[in-house]
Amino acid sequence: MNKRLLYIGFSAVIMLLMVLPSKAQRGRNPVILADVPDMAMIRVGNTYYMSSTTMHMSPGLPIMKSKDLVNWQLVSYAYDTLATVDALTLTNGKSTYGRGSWASSFRYHKGTFYVTTFAQTTGKTYIYTTKNIEKGPWKVATFKPSYHDHTLFFDDDGRNYLIYGAGKLKIVELNAEVTGVKEGTTEQVLIENASTPSGTGGGLPAEGSQLFKVNGKYYLFNISWPRGGMRTVLIHRADKITGPWEGRVALQDLGVAQGGLIDTPDRKWFAYLFRDFGGVGRIPYLVPVKWEDGWPVLGENGKVPETLDLPANKSLIPGIVASDDFTRKKGDATLPLVWQWNHNPDNALWSIFERKGFLRLKTGRVDTSFVLVRNTLTQRTIGPESTGSTLLDVSNMKEGDFAGLGLLQKNYGLVGVKVGKGNKSIVMVSANTGKPIEIELIPLTQNTVYFKAECNFKNRADIAHFFYSLDGKVWTKIGEPLKMPYTIPHFMGYRFGLFNYATQNVGGFADFDYFRIEDSISKK
């Protein structure tokens, strides 16, 4: 081979390498390393929208937007509060951890967005609608019963349905207004045992229904969890919505399951699914889909790929979480969308206007348990690492008050200031054992103190450490490491939380100067 041909060949290789995206330039799984479970997804034109589950949080039923399927930002919530009952307002010793609103269904039909959910807490099904998904307003129709893990479906003949249930899947027709069950109709069994393709020997039955129609055929996605196995994607197919349905196992890898189908404008297909991932929560994945013999075939040789033929992932800050200095300009939202209250807030007992540039949390009742305290303001933790920090002014706290920074889940951890009789102390509380214990107490002689919590989710470490500082420069570790297990009673990834509650006298308040979140931890 002469030198000229060798040079041309070498140049062509270099140009090809420049054109082809490297692994670093491609999208990666998981697409979001944060708690975004039970996704439902649609595409309108070249824009994707996704809903998810946040259960007991308010506002609830978050809506996210993306242009590339990989990088998402919060744009709305379907509701401010789900309902006003003791379990949602944390009154009379009740709560709705692990419940609230669950898996949603998402549709766009004739210019209207439909996001539906259901709640064991209220025993109702909810259908939220809007013409403008980012600005609202949202309308709601509610009716009984609570249709478990339902999928809303608009068929080509103008009829509307919900498919729902676990194991035995049922179908019910809705009225033309999509505000309730059609009068005179009755629910019908659609599939007697949808778990059959993955085995019927126990485990969790098929649920999480999401229905799609592609090229005239119906495709019903479900998740099952066979005993001794892993979370599994099941797909049933039919020529008519009433069946008969034939089913198969579509994916069994890494426990990535529950979701449905989405296509790109250039007709690439993906399945959106999620994975249980310890203390950070349930995290979204995308799995490429090919069509073979009229079936969607998920994954690459049956496996979930690490990289995707999609744009590269950017930071989850500020799309999913964000820092906040609590300074508001005219026209700003009172609270950015990244914030959610733990259960329904008492809006009389918080403000960002009473002291400019501060979040003020006021006490209005006596509490004895952190998980039953109202007005704890929360954001997701994110992986693989994240740090949340704040500056607290305790000048106006009363005897018995406790305020600070927490990591919220059943086995929670707190660092904050407790006010005693004529004294103040920095305290770290750990619920590693399932019950709260004061691990360390340090006298405090000033009115401002800095706190931070560092979370390490790398390789499922699920460990957090708490720190305090008197000047914002020198940080001191306090208490013990917090193990962060994902517990079923709360059914949610760990969250950073700003809190203040009274144990003796009401009327005090705590002022938070800022909340900062970073996607790293100190390396000391």
Catalytic residues, which ones? Answer: 38, 207
The β-bridge partners of 501 are 402
3-class SS shares of the chain: helix, strand, coil, % to 5: 5, 45, 45
Strands (E), 277-423: 282-292, 295-298, 307-311, 340-342, 350-351, 359-362, 377-380, 385-393, 401-408, 413-419
The number of C-alpha atoms within 13 Å of 226 and in the hemisphere containing its C-beta is: 16
Q: Is the Cβ–Cβ distance between 378 and 408 less than 8 Å?
A: yes
| H/E run at residue 174 | strand 168-174
| Numbers of helices and strands, H then E, in the chain | 2, 37
What is the Cα–Cα distance from 149 to 194, expressed in whole angstroms?
14
| Calculated CA dihedral for residues 202, 204, 206, 210, nearest 10 degrees | -170
The β-bridge partners of 388 are 453, 517
Q: How many residues does the chain have?
A: 524
What is the Cα–Cα distance from 397 to 510, expressed in whole angstroms?
6
Q: Which of 375, 390, 397, 409 has its CA nearest to residue 449?
A: 390
Angle, vertex CA 507, rays to CA 501 and CA 512, nearest 5: 55
**43 Cβ contact partners less than 8 Å away, ≥ 6 residues apart:** 49, 262, 263, 264, 265
- What string of DSSP letters covers 21-72? PPGGGEEESSS--B---S-EEEEETTEEEEE---BTEESEEEEEEESSSSS-
